Amino acid sequence: MTKVTSPEFLCTNCEQKSIFTRIKHQESLIIKGEEIIINAEYCKCDSCGDEVLIPGVNPDPFELAYREYRKRHGFLQPEEIRTWRRLHKLTQSELASLLGLGIATLNRYENGAIQNEAHEKLLRLIMDPSGYAKLLSHSSDIFSEAKRKELLETLESVNLISNSVDDSLLSVAGGAKVDEFSGYRKLNLSKLYNVILFFSKEGIFKTKLNKLLFYADFKYFKEYTVSITGARYIRLPYGPVPDNYERYYTSLLSKNSLQTIEEGYPDGEIFELLKTNISPDLSIFDTSEIRILASVSEHFHNYTAGQIKECSHNEVGYRKTDDNKAISYKYASQLSY
């Protein structure tokens, strides 16, 4: 259990500023007639023992249940709708008009309400590039010709960015040898992207994500003498990172597979996390690869970005590689984990 001090909040029971202990337990909620079981989190007041929800510290149990309900039924999550709309430079009013919805309805969906099945189908239709293009072509009563042209150009640009990034990365990787620096495997973007999505399910800092990718590939090589993804890892001051890692994240963001979330701290400092918008496709991995991914995730689950960075700095491969140079997978045999 984690102790957390929240001096800006009073316990709603004893009305005292107190030390709280984070606790979790299963809770059953009924959402649209279905029982949804979640791992609810509360803060227990050390003064009176009452369990309370502290905004910004504990997630809302109903929000967790709504997310599980959407996941169970294959519905879009609120951030998926928001991210797509903003990526395509549409206001809520414009998207609502294009879909034939009221702006209040769309606003509710983007802020956590569960959409009905008919509206889910509409949202899925517009997120398909060809479906969106067709809707735009019949939107003369909603947009001016200039605005419609601008939206079509944005649609084309989004698709081009995604495709060109992937083509560029494969071109660079294709020109390199499959050797000790790639883990004797050609870069597999599909596997690399899905490993990124696997580690980003709960939201993660790039610093930690880069290290988890390193440990997953090197751990797998240690046991099976080949990497999972074929990615090359470079020694940088903050530890080992996948070569071209910013391009990988840009590609996933442009595909709307990832989103960025701003995390605020009490001192006012803002950090940016990456979080998945879609579930990773684990069917492309074999059983041994999934086992290593799960093992790495569990082993480093409670590590902060700083702690995993420090851990990676102590790896033999990192210490024996010059700055800005690729780290050989031959050092995987001496991996500390």
3-state secondary structure 116-139: CHHHHHHHHHHHCHHHHHHHHHCC
Give the tens place of pLDDT for each residue, 132-165: 888 898 898 999 999 988 998 888 776 655 555 5
Report the amino acid identity of residue 306.
G
Residues in CB range of 260: below 8 A, 6 or more apart? 253, 272, 273, 274, 275
What is the torsional sign of CA 215, 217, 220, 224? negative
Q: Are 63 and 93 in contact (CB under 8 A)?
A: no
Average pLDDT, the chain: 85
Task: Please report which confidence band the pLDDT of residue 6 belongs to, taking 50, 70 and 90 as the band edges.
Answer: very low
Residue 43 has pLDDT above 90, yes or no: no
Q: Given this model, what pLDDT does residue 84 score? A: 86
What are the tokens at 252? 């996933």
Please report, rounded to a whole number, the percentage of residues in the chain having pLDDT higher than 70.
Answer: 86
Give the tens place of pLDDT for each residue, 71-111: 888 888 888 888 888 888 899 999 999 999 999 999 999 99
Q: Given this model, what pLDDT does residue 319 score? A: 96
Lowest mean pLDDT among 115-119, 244-248, 270-274: 270-274
The length of the chain, given as a count of residues: 337
Antiparallel, parallel or unpaired: β 19-31 and 2-5 = antiparallel
Domain assignments of the chain as residue spans, ordered by start: 2-62, 74-174, 176-334
DSSP string over 80-126: HHHHHHHHTT--HHHHHHHHT--HHHHHHHHTTPPPPHHHHHHHHHH
What is the torsional sign of CA 219, 222, 226, 230? positive
* Helices within the chain (DSSP H only): 61-73, 78-87, 92-99, 103-110, 117-127, 129-137, 145-174, 189-199, 206-224, 245-254, 287-299, 305-313, 316-319
Please report how many Cα atoms fall inside a 13 Å half-sphere around the Cα of residue 102, on the Cβ side.
4
What is the pTM assigned to this prediction?
0.54
- Reduce the DSSP state of residue 175 to 3 states and report it: coil
Q: Given this model, what pLDDT does residue 1 score? A: 42
Q: Are 309 and 211 in contact (CB under 8 A)?
A: yes
Q: Given this model, what pLDDT does residue 2 score? A: 43
Q: Are 191 and 285 in contact (CB under 8 A)?
A: yes
Q: How many CB atoms lie within 10 A of CB 87?
A: 16
Beta bridge partners of 23: 42
Q: Given this model, what pLDDT does residue 118 score? A: 95
Task: Please report which confidence band the pLDDT of residue 3 belongs to, taking 50, 70 and 90 as the band edges.
Answer: very low
What are the tokens at 236? 């940088």
CATH code given to domain 74-174: 1.10.260
What are the tokens at 128? 């398909």
Span 278-300, mean pLDDT?
90
Q: Are 216 and 329 in contact (CB under 8 A)?
A: no
Give the tens place of pLDDT for each residue, 253-276: 888 889 988 665 555 555 679 999
Which of the listed ranges 20-34, 196-210, 255-269 does the model predict with the highest average pLDDT? 196-210
Q: Are 50 and 13 in contact (CB under 8 A)?
A: yes
Q: Are 68 and 79 in contact (CB under 8 A)?
A: no
Span 175-184, mean pLDDT?
80
Report the amino acid identity of residue 139.
S
Task: Please report which confidence band the pLDDT of residue 176 belongs to, taking 50, 70 and 90 as the band edges.
Answer: low
Give the tens place of pLDDT for each residue, 296-329: 999 999 999 999 999 999 999 999 999 999 999 9
**How far is residue 48 from each of residues 10, 12, 202, measured CA to CA in Å?**
12, 10, 32
Q: CB burial class (10 A; 0-12, 13-18, 19+) of residue 235?
A: buried
Q: Are 215 and 337 in contact (CB under 8 A)?
A: yes
Please report, rounded to a whole number, the percentage of residues in the chain having pLDDT higher than 90.
Answer: 45
Which of the listed ranges 47-56, 179-188, 268-277 does the model predict with the highest average pLDDT? 179-188
